Each structure stands twice: as structure tokens, then as C-alpha cells.
Structure 1
Amino acid sequence: MKILFIQTGGTIDKDYPKTDQGFAFEITEPAVHRILSRIQPAFTFDVVSLFKKDSQEITNADRAQLKVYLSTRPEQKVVITHGTDTLIQTAKFLGTIPGKTIVFTGAFKPERFKDSDADVNLGLALGAINVLEEGTFIAMNGLVMIPENCEKDPVSGQFITLKDNLE
């Protein structure tokens, strides 16, 4: 099995700035590389950096580009790392792409942080992609959800289900 990982940006890929002009973080190389090097995966994979944007900067034109790109790739299993602010919006925009199982994930703290949730969320996405059928899903906060049945809680920031998710 081969999994395609697509970086779109977001907190999961943020790193300390390479300049000394403030404390703003920069989106750098895909965190997926570092996480996968720690787990020694038993599958082949490819990592593509499609965007390096904060999710609030991702446009519908970017989403359309992502959808077209996915339709040109041969991989059936795809994990997309994305910023959490508009992750659900992008997942809904993609909808179901015939022949593809797509799982979106991200992190609330950069993978570079010791207490980041990046490893857990990516691990959840990997477990999910191995058992899910065709469709688009979200793997966050220990839950696997379909985009239409989840939301990001405005108080806690966690992704929550609105009803039984995978029925």
C-alpha cells in the first residue's frame, strides 16, 4: 500500500522563524517527514507540499486546485495535513472523489513542540485510512468523523461530532 501525504500548511507544520524579526512562526517543511521517521512505517509513501498557508488564507481556488491535483494522482489513500480553522470547510469542498480515501488531520500546536498533538492526530489518520472505504474524513482529537457531521467547538477548539458519525 502507498499513501500520499499532502501538506497544505497550518500549525502542524509551523516552526521557529529563520529570521530575527519577531516571534511569528513560519510554515516550513512537512512535519509528516519527522513523524514518519520516528515510527518506521510498514508502507510506502510520497509527501507533496501543495501549499504552505495558514488555513485562514486558503481560498476556494486553492481548494479547487487540491481537488484537481487529487484526481490526477494514482494513490487511493491520501492524508492531508491542514490548519484546523478551515479544515472542515476544505474537507466539505472536496467531497467524495471516486476511488479515493482521504483523511484530513492537523494539530493545535506545532509538531516541533514537545506537547504537540501532531503525532497522535497523524497516527489516528493512518489507522483510519487503513480501514475506511472511499470518502473524505477528518481525524482529530481521537475521533474519526465525516465532515458534514462535525464541527470545531468554539470554546474548547476541539473537533466534536454532531451525531453518530460513520453511519
Structure 2
Amino acid sequence: MKILFIQTGGTIDKDYPKTKGGWAFEFGEPATERILSKLDPSFEYEIHTASQKDSLEITEADRQSLADLINKEVADAYVVTHGTDTMMDTAAFLSSRVDRKVVILTGAMRPERFSNSDAPINLGVAIGAANLLDPGIYIAMHGILKSASEIQRNADNGKFY
């Protein structure tokens, strides 16, 4: 089993600022690297960076580049770390442009660097699901996994269901 992890940015990958003063988070190395180092996985994997953006800044061109990357690369499954604000938009976009591949989008409500982050659990759900799913586009968040066409999000609390 080979999983290709693709970083696009979002809260999961936000890191503390490297400059003094200020509260703006920055993007650094993929959070997936730190999570996988704790897992010591029994599967083959690669990590690619497609972008490092807040999901509100992801454009249609970024989404097309992501689709092109997934269509070009050879793996058994693709796990895309993404910001939650437009995760469903990207999933819908990929649904019409990626065919016959297992693609799971996931992210976090709090940066992976935070001790109370949901990032490791969300990534773990995506990894486990990658071993079992039929081709399609899915979202793994808040301990659930659903296809892009079935997932919904509560506007009041931000939870996917």
C-alpha cells in the first residue's frame, strides 16, 4: 500500500510565527511529517506540497493543479491536507476531475502544533480509510468519513457530519 500525502495548507499546517511580535501564523513543513514520524507506518508513502495557503485563498487554478498532480502520480490512495473553510469546495471540484482514485481530504480545526489539535486523529481516520475505500472523493473530519457528495457542515459550530 502506498499513500501520497499532499499538503495544500490550512490550519493543520499552520505554525507559530518565526518573527518576534505579531500573532499571524505561518506555513512550514507538512504536519503530516510530524504525525507520521510518531506512527512509524507499515505502508509506503510520499509527501508532496501542492500549496501552502489558507483555504480561503485557494483558487480554481490551485484546485486544477491539485487535480493534475493526483491524476499524474501513481499511488493506492491520496490524502490531501486542506483548510476546512473550503474543503468541501475542493472535494466537489476534484469529484469532476479525478477518476478512479481514492482521494481523502482532511484537516484540523486547530494547528497540529497545538497539544489539543485534532490533526492526528483526522489524519489517522484518513489513513485507515485509505486501506478500505473504493475509488472516490471523501472527507475525513471529526471522526467521520463521508463521500464528497454526502458530507455536510454545521455553519454554527463548523463540524462536519
TM-score (normalizing by structure 1): 0.93
Contact 1:76-1:99 at 8 Å conserved across structures: no
Determine helix, strand or coil for the equivalent of 1:5: strand
| Deviation (angstroms), 1:42 | 0.2
Separation in structure 1 between the aligned mates of residue 21 and residue 93 of structure 2, nearest angstrom: 36
Please tell me whether the aligned partners of residues 6 and 47 of structure 1 are also in contact (alpha carbons under 8 angstroms): yes
- The 2-side partners of 1:38 and 1:4 are apart by 18
Aligned partners of 1:80 and 1:102 also within 8 Å: yes
Aligned to 1:70: 70
Q: What SS does structure 1 have at the residue aligned with 2:5? A: strand
> Is residue 139 from structure 1 mapped to residue 146 from structure 2 by the alignment?
no
1:92 is matched with 92
CA distance in 2, matches of 1:136, 1:99: 9
Between 94-103 and 32-41, report the one with greater CA deviation.
94-103
Shift of 1:13: 0.4
Q: Provide the rounded CA distance (Å) in 2 between the counterparts of 1:20 and 1:151.
A: 39
1:76 Cα offset (Å)? 2.9
Aligned to 1:164: none
> Counterpart amino acid of 2:106?
T
Offset at 1:21?
4.1
* 1:150 positional shift: 1.8
Please give the per-residue CA displacement for 1:15-70, whole angstroms capped at 9, x wherever unaligned.
Answer: 10011241111111100000000011000100001100000000111101111111
1:75-99 superposed Cα distances (whole Å, 9 cap, x missing partner)? 1310000000000100010006233
What amino acid maps onto 1:113 in structure 2? F
* Rounded Cα–Cα distance in structure 2 between residues aligned with 1:19 and 1:46: 30
Question: Which sections of structure 1, spanning at least 5 residues, go unmatched?
Answer: 161-167
- Distance in 1, matches of 2:70 and 2:8, equals 13
**Alignment partner of 2:92: what SS?**
helix
Conservation of the 8 A alpha-carbon contact between 1:103 and 1:125: yes
Q: Distance in 1 between matches of 2:99 and 2:90?
A: 17
Match of 2:31 in 1: 31
Q: Percent identity?
A: 49
Aligned to 2:14: 14
Unaligned runs of at least 5 residues, structure 2: none
2: CA distance, partners of 1:46 / 1:22: 34
Aligned-residue RMSD, C-alpha: 1.0
Which consecutive aligned stretches of 4+ in structure 1 deviate over 6 angstroms post-superposition?
Answer: none
- The alignment covers a number of residue pairs equal to 160
